[in-house]
Amino acid sequence: MANQPDFWYIRLPGNSNTFCWLWGQHATIVGSAALLPVYTPPPTPTPMPSFELSYAGMDSCVGWWAELKLKNTGSFAFLSYSISIKDLNTSTTLTGSENGFTDMNGCLASGIVASLDPGASTTFSSPQFGYNPDNHKLRATVTLCTLVNLGGQCVSQPVEFKP
Give the tens place of pLDDT for each residue, 50-100. 999 999 999 988 889 999 999 999 999 999 999 999 999 999 999 999 999
**Residue ranges, CATH 2.60.40, the chain:** 51-161
Q: What's the CATH number for 51-161?
A: 2.60.40
Q: How many other C-beta atoms lie within 10 A of the C-beta of residue 128?
A: 17
CA 12/CA 17 separation, integer angstroms = 8
Give the tens place of pLDDT for each residue, 104-130. 877 776 778 999 999 999 999 999 999
User: CA 45 → CA 16, 38, 70, 111, distances in Å?
Assistant: 25, 21, 24, 35
Q: Is 120 left (phi over 0), alpha (psi -120 to 50) or beta?
A: beta
Q: Are 71 and 45 in contact (CB under 8 A)?
A: no
